[in-house]
Amino acid sequence: MDYFLTDSQKIIKRLAKKISDEVISKVAGKYDKEGIFPRDILDLLAYTELTGVYIPKEYGGFGGGVLEMCLVVEELSRNCAGIAVSYAATALGAYPIMLYGTENQKKKYLPKIAKGEAIAAFALTEADAGSDVSSIKTVAEKDGDFYILNGNKHWITNGGEADIYVVFAVTDKSKGPRGISAFIVEKGYEGFYCGKKEDKMGIRASSTTELIFENCKVPKENLLGREGTGFIIAMKTFDRTRPGVAAMAIGIAQGAYEHALRYAKERIQFGQPLTSFQAIQHMLADMYINIEAARALLYSTCRMIDSGAKDYTKESSACKVFASDVAMKITIDAVQIMGGNGYVKDYPVEKMMRDAKVTQIFEGANQIQRNIIASEIVKEL
């Protein structure tokens, strides 16, 4: 399918594909098995300037939008979503600053992210606040020129590795979701520690950790937006970054499909290649149809966002849900097509099946996304 990408989008895709095929494909298995954080790949992305594709030119980026970010995530994910998520989570940490940062905050943090000198993270989830984000308990109390943060965050991608964290904390308990605020916390701030690293099923090259705040002193100029706007900041950020999860899912699905197709063509049973059996042909055809449908929905959503649409919550949720469900189905089928070989670590589809699962869970589980879509379409009626 020709998506009529612009020349610069085609270049971004080609460069990300080259890195994915020539470097990531070679290390994906090892990084997954040993849980190695892909700092070297992030350095390569920085060298090639892909770290800044979605950051405005005035802050040292390339000036692209969500589509440019997604093209990179998709290509990297074709070979390793674990590596891609380290890149995507930096975007998740950068977007709140791009959307709500003051000029000073943007000038201070965005050029470093664009140049790949700093990795970012987004810290919202807590042990008792996953889907129900407004029940977070981390608190921020104003004390002179500082906010004092106390509490724990769970499941934070790039935890321990990131230099810049956007952290959500309650500034006014009495106001519920309207009492949440967002802060920029730098690695090394007094009272800010990284806790346990999760031992995950998939995306094992990424670092997912607990974050601990014990009387962590955050300068008051690091408040993002105004006090009480944290919940809105989180939701508006997700609207722009859920397409990134869709891109990750499509990349995984595309990778699994390519492996399964090649394998089915070469594997001979009953004297003929697997591709000669209609049962297999239909699975491959369904893979193709679903990937293209998911990609078409993703790119359309990205274009809608990048052309300045005001509200795109349901579109952003829809592409995330659809692509992640497609990725799960396709990776399961890819393992099926490859039989025993699909089930062992000598081939990458086993890893892809494990990696696909998380795209249905994080940045809002798919059930929550369906809740969001339903409430939007009912509201519009």
Partner 1 sequence: MNILVCVKQIVDPDKIEYNSTTKTIKRSSQHLMNNPADLNALEFALRLKDIFPDSRVYTLSMGSLECKEKVKELIELGVDEAILLSDKRLAGSDASATSYALSCAIETLERFDLILCGDHSLDGETSIVPPQIAEYLGICHIASVVDIKPKDKDTLEIVKKVENILAKFEVKLPMLLSVKKDSNFVRFPKLSFMIRALSYEPKVLSLDDLRDIDVKRIGLEGSKTAVDDFEKEKMESISCKIYEQGSISEIECIAEVILKFI
Ligand X SMILES: Cc1cc2nc3c(=O)[nH]c(=O)nc-3n(C[C@H](O)[C@H](O)[C@H](O)COP(=O)(O)OP(=O)(O)OC[C@H]3O[C@@H](n4cnc5c(N)ncnc54)[C@H](O)[C@@H]3O)c2cc1C
- Residue closer to ligand X (CB basis): 149 or 287: 149
The separation between CA 66 and the C-alpha centre of its own chain, rounded to angstroms, equals 12
CB nearer to partner 1: pick between 73 and 323: 73
Q: Is 361 in the site for ligand X (CB under 6 A)?
A: yes
Distance CA 318, CA 89 (A): 20
Our CA dihedral for 233, 94, 119, 323, rounded to 10 degrees, sits at 90
181 near 169, Cβ under 8 Å?
yes
Closest separation between CB of residue 19 and partner 1, Å? 7
Pick the closest to residue 73 from 12, 8, 1, 164 (CA basis).
Answer: 12
Which one of 21-29, 181-189, 285-293, 360-368 is the stretch in contact with ligand X (CB under 6 A)? 360-368
235 binds, among partner 1, ligand X, none (CB under 5 to 8 A by kind): none
Contact between 212 and ligand X per CB under 6 A: no
Residues 336 and 353: beta-carbon distance below 8 Å = no
Residue reference for tokens 């996953």: 130
Which chain residues interact with partner 1 by CB under 8 A?
7-8, 11-12, 14-15, 18-19, 44, 47-50, 53, 62
Of 115-174, binders to ligand X (CB under 6 A) are 122-125, 130-131, 155-157
Rounded Cα–Cα distance for residues 28 and 43 (Å): 16
Give the interface size with ligand X as a residue count (CB under 6 A): 22
Q: Catalytic residues, which ones? A: 363
Residues linked to residue 167 through DSSP beta bridges, in sequence order: 123, 183
* DSSP-derived secondary structure letter, 116: T
Of the candidate residues 152, 368, 373, 376, the single one contacting ligand X (CB under 6 A)? 368
CB of 95 to partner 1, least distance (A): 20
Where does this chain bind ligand X (CB under 6 A)?
Answer: 89, 122-125, 130-131, 155-157, 200, 203, 208, 358, 361-365, 367-368, 371
